[in-house]
Structure 1
Amino acid sequence: MSDYAETQSAQPVTHADFGHVDTWIFDLDNTLYPAHCNLFAQIDQRMGAFIARELDVDPVEARRIQKQYYVDHGTTLAGLMAEHGMDPTPFLDFVHDIDLAVVDESRALDAALARLPGKRFIFTNGSHRHAENVAGKLGVLDRFEGIIDIAACNYIPKPHPDAFGHFIGRSAADARKAAMFEDIARNLVVPHQMGMRTVWVHTEDAFATEKAHHGKDGDHVHHTTEDLVGFLDAL
Structure 2
Amino acid sequence: MNADLAHIDTWLFDLDNTLYPAESGFMGDVERRMTDFVMKVAGLPRDEAFALQKTYLAEHGLTLGGLMKHHGVAPADFHALFHDLPLDVLAHDAGLLAALERLPGRRLIFTNADEIHAVRVLDHLKLDHLFDEVFHIHSFGFAPKPDPVGFARMIAAHGMDPATTAFFEDSERNLKPAFDLGMTTVLVGAHAEASAAPFVHHRTHKLAPFLAGARLKEAA
TM-score scaled by length of structure 2: 0.92
Q: Does 1:34 align with 2:11?
A: no
Superposed CA RMSD: 1.5
Matched length: 213
One-letter code aligned to 2:15: L
One-letter code aligned to 1:90: D
What is aligned with 1:227? 206
- Is the CA contact 1:183–1:202 (under 8 Å) kept in the aligned structure 2? yes
The one-character-per-residue Cα deviations of 1:160-194 (angstroms, maximum 9, x if unpaired) are 10111121122221111100000001100010011
Taking the aligned partners of 2:3 and 2:210, their CA distance within structure 1 comes to 11
What is aligned with 1:137? 124
1:80 to 54, 64, 67: 67
Q: Does 1:178 align with 2:157?
A: no
Moved over 4 A (4+): none
What is aligned with 1:92? 79
Give the deviation of 1:87 after TM superposition.
1.0
One-letter code aligned to 2:127: V
Taking the aligned partners of 1:96 and 1:223, their CA distance within structure 2 comes to 33
The one-character-per-residue Cα deviations of 1:22-46 (angstroms, maximum 9, x if unpaired) are 1000000110001111111001000
What is aligned with 1:67? 54
Structure 1 residues without counterparts, runs of 5 or longer: 1-5, 7-12
The one-character-per-residue Cα deviations of 1:129-154 (angstroms, maximum 9, x if unpaired) are 11111111111110000000011111
The one-character-per-residue Cα deviations of 1:69-102 (angstroms, maximum 9, x if unpaired) are 1111111111112222321111011134311001
One-letter code aligned to 2:130: R
- Is the CA contact 1:107–1:139 (under 8 Å) kept in the aligned structure 2? no
- Is the CA contact 1:201–1:225 (under 8 Å) kept in the aligned structure 2? yes
Task: Describe the SS at the equivalent of 1:24.
Answer: strand
More deviation, 68-77/167-176? 167-176
Give the deviation of 1:62 after TM superposition.
1.1
- Is the CA contact 1:176–1:196 (under 8 Å) kept in the aligned structure 2? yes
Structure 2 residues without counterparts, runs of 5 or longer: 215-220
Taking the aligned partners of 1:146 and 1:130, their CA distance within structure 2 comes to 14
- Is the CA contact 2:3–2:202 (under 8 Å) kept in the aligned structure 1? no
What is aligned with 1:54? 41
One-letter code aligned to 2:134: I
